[in-house]
Amino acid sequence: MEVLQRIALLRAEVERHSHNYYVLDASTIPDAEYDKLFRELQALETQHPEFLTPDSPTQRVGGKVLDGFAPVRHALAMLSIRTETDTTAGGAQAFDARVRKELGLNETDAPVEYACELKFDGLAINLRYEHGVLVQAATRGDGETGEDVTQNIRTIHAIPLRLQGFTADVLEVRGEAYMSRADFERYNEQQRAHGLPTLVNPRNGAAGGIRQLDPAIAAKRLLSFFAYGLGEVRGWDMPATHSAILDALAVLGLPVCAERAVVRGTTGLVDFHQQVAAKRDALSFDIDGVVYKVNDRALQAQLGFVTREPRWAVAHKYPAEEQITLVRDIDIQVGRTGKLTPVAKLEPVFVGGTTVSNATLHNEDETRRKDVRIGDTVIVRRAGDVIPEVAAVVLEKRPANIGAPFDLFQRLQGKCPVCGSAIVREEGEADWRCSGGLFCPAQRKQALLHFAGRRALDIEGLGDKLVEQLVDGGMVATLPELYELTVEKLAALERMGEKSAQNLVEALQQSKHTTLARFIYALGIRNVGEATAKDLAKHFGKLDALMAADAERLQQVPDVGPIVAQSLLAFFAEPHNCDVVRQLRAHGMYWDEQEVQAQAAAPFGGKTFVLTGTLEAMGRDEAKERLELLGAKVSGSVSKKTDFVVAGSEAGSKLDKAIALNVAVLGETEFLELLSKHESL
């Protein structure tokens, strides 16, 4: 027992001194004394392995080299926030105006209170603590699924392996892993001394360090961490404001940046933005802007989300670094979604920590507005400190024999440079796009991933890496060719065993029986999202009727306006796309069209439901799907137009709003009875 007590005492001492040094930037004992305590702890744990625990500070560096990173499904999606690209005071003013409008405030109402923070330039990380102990760390990934990087995160001394005085069931802490400027320079000096490659910038150092398969290599990056928010929380009463949450996290021993403030209204936002700009170069780490968040969590809930971005938060950028160079040519790139982007081919120039030879011109309108031409001298900058862009032309250096203004359509003669399909530009849109869609090789991978997505045909096992292999290896060029894959072909791929191959072939076969709405959405038609696909399926009932519809008939569908109608017409006007649809059906793709027609007159037709809280009997997605099969519309926010609110356990502000608006509220038992009654008809 004396040994166990000594181990406990040493762990507490080592962690306390580590927290003081790495989080508070205050060394409390000499390094030699710290090393002495650490070595004693290591020796005792070696002699008594039965007392070794995962949260011991000796376990920060260690573990075997991984073959790859395991996927982690986030309990709550790690959403991105909107970026305010207007780097002047107008950016803050625009955000405050949007918030006040959404909250229904007028000029005489009090200013909104905001929490202001720095926008760190590193890698977003989710830390999962269970009963106060760090059990998992994951990257953001695509927001829904990230990668398990627990071993590497353990090497970051600023991150506590056990929270101070915290025993709640679950606390997920979100923040940024970053590399300080001093550690970046120190690392590069060491690399140069050994003749090894150096890092380009601290952000790459952080991202590359976190994604090392060997945690010992990750430890050499000397990374740091700042907490800025929460994920899933169970068993902990969260404070009422965002700023109070950060204060509470700091008390628990998590590193929270001191460069933050609570301000009121536009004036406070502008002042914070300007104050940070003045000290930006003096900070010990890189930032590319600041972040504003509505401080009151109740108001955050009221504001909600739009397109998976919170209405209550925004990132306000700073002007990027700039250099002057020469435009040698203008190329046209076709993106994964068919977007045509003019790209300036530059005389290489060093900007923002890297050598730049290509810079985006964004679109034809922007290129013509800036009047960028081949042979021009231009100012190039790192837009958002990430993507190089041409900022402006230095007109006094323009050659006398400069060519004509840029014309994308004329340059390409109206055809996609990759597949030859017609290029189109919707009314009011800045971007030209390839209409080849499912046929265009440049869009092949994106089309396959979208087609296989959970909300489309939900083909389990068909992810990014496999799609890369299938396309790059020439095995799949179009969607129908997915259904020609065999177990033998798939099993021959790297890291694809026979069992996995068999599972994928079975998943492909199962995906053939779908719904018309899912099939329409899976085609990846521009501007046709999940909800619009369902509306189209309900309205037309049959795919052939949809494909034959003109603009007038399309716009008879709820929420389908001229832009969506034009996207549908352009898609089905391209013979390649119609061929893909025909071939998919020839490969056995089918759905019950009678079922689709029945949905139009379903029992919940015209009714709007809102789900809140946790349902014990089913997940949120299943509840939504069952309601929609009965004709209901499922909304994410409560309003006077809401017919029913389904309230599970731990229902939040949506329930409060429903009661305030006198909207009918169903408990889980009532909800299940309602479903059962109508599904049996």
Q: What is the pTM of this model?
A: 0.49
- pLDDT tens track for 118-137: 999 889 999 999 999 999 99
Kindly state the tokens that stand for 474. Answer: 């020439």
- In one-letter notation, the amino acid at residue 361 is L
* Torsion sign, CA atoms 316, 320, 326, 329: negative
> What is the architecture, at CATH level 2, of domain 2-52?
Orthogonal Bundle (1.10)
Residue 602 CA to residue 76 CA, distance in Å, equals: 32
Number of neighbouring beta carbons within 10 Å of residue 88: 12
Higher-confidence residue of 544 and 197: namely 544
Q: Determine the pLDDT at residue 384.
A: 47
In which residue are the tokens 């989080």 written?
23
Looking at 186-277, which runs of residues are DSSP E strands?
224-234, 261-264
Residue 130 CA to residue 233 CA, distance in Å, equals: 10
Residue 543 CA to residue 410 CA, distance in Å, equals: 35
For the 322-412 domain, the top CATH level (class) is mainly beta
Q: Determine the pLDDT at residue 302.
A: 95
In which residue are the tokens 């590359």 written?
208
In 3D, which of 423, 436, 422, 288 has the Cα closest to residue 342? 423
Residue 623 CA to residue 618 CA, distance in Å, equals: 7
In the chain, what percentage of residues exceed pLDDT 70?
Answer: 91
Which of 80-84, 297-301, 431-435 is most confident? 297-301
> For residues 523 and 571, is the Cβ–Cβ distance under 8 A?
yes
* CB-facing half-sphere around the CA of 634: CA atoms within 13 A: 17
CA 400 to chain CA centroid, Å, is 46
Domain boundaries, the chain: 2-52, 82-317, 322-412, 435-601, 602-679
Higher-confidence residue of 64 and 140: namely 140
- pLDDT tens track for 342-366: 999 999 988 755 788 999 888 888 8
Q: Does 641 qualify as catalytic in the annotation?
A: no
Residue 150 CA to residue 13 CA, distance in Å, equals: 24
Residue 406 backbone phi and psi in degrees, to 5: -65, 135
H-run or E-run covering 326: strand 322-334
H-run or E-run covering 299: helix 297-303
| Catalytic residue chosen out of the listed positions 36, 64, 101, 119 | 119
Angle separating helix axes 444-452 and 464-472, nearest 10 degrees: 140
Residue 364 CA to residue 371 CA, distance in Å, equals: 10
pLDDT band per the 50, 70, 90 thresholds, residue 203: confident
H-run or E-run covering 323: strand 322-334
**CATH code matching the domain that covers 82-317, chosen among 3.30.460.40, 3.30.470.30, 3.40.50.1220, 3.40.50.1820:** 3.30.470.30
- pLDDT tens track for 50-72: 777 777 767 665 455 556 788 99
Residue 159 CA to residue 366 CA, distance in Å, equals: 44
Residue 153 CA to residue 69 CA, distance in Å, equals: 13
> What is the architecture, at CATH level 2, of domain 602-679?
3-Layer(aba) Sandwich (3.40)
Question: Per residue in 581-603, is it b (16+ CB within 10 Å) or e — as a string?
Answer: bebbeeeebebebeebeebeebe
> For residues 227 and 256, is the Cβ–Cβ distance under 8 A?
yes
> What is the architecture, at CATH level 2, of domain 435-601?
Orthogonal Bundle (1.10)
Angle separating helix axes 530-540 and 593-600, nearest 10 degrees: 90
- pLDDT tens track for 387-421: 788 878 899 999 999 989 999 999 999 999 989 98
Q: What is the mean pLDDT of residues 269-285?
A: 90
Number of residues in the chain: 681
Q: Determine the pLDDT at residue 21.
A: 56
- pLDDT tens track for 28-46: 666 557 667 777 777 787 7
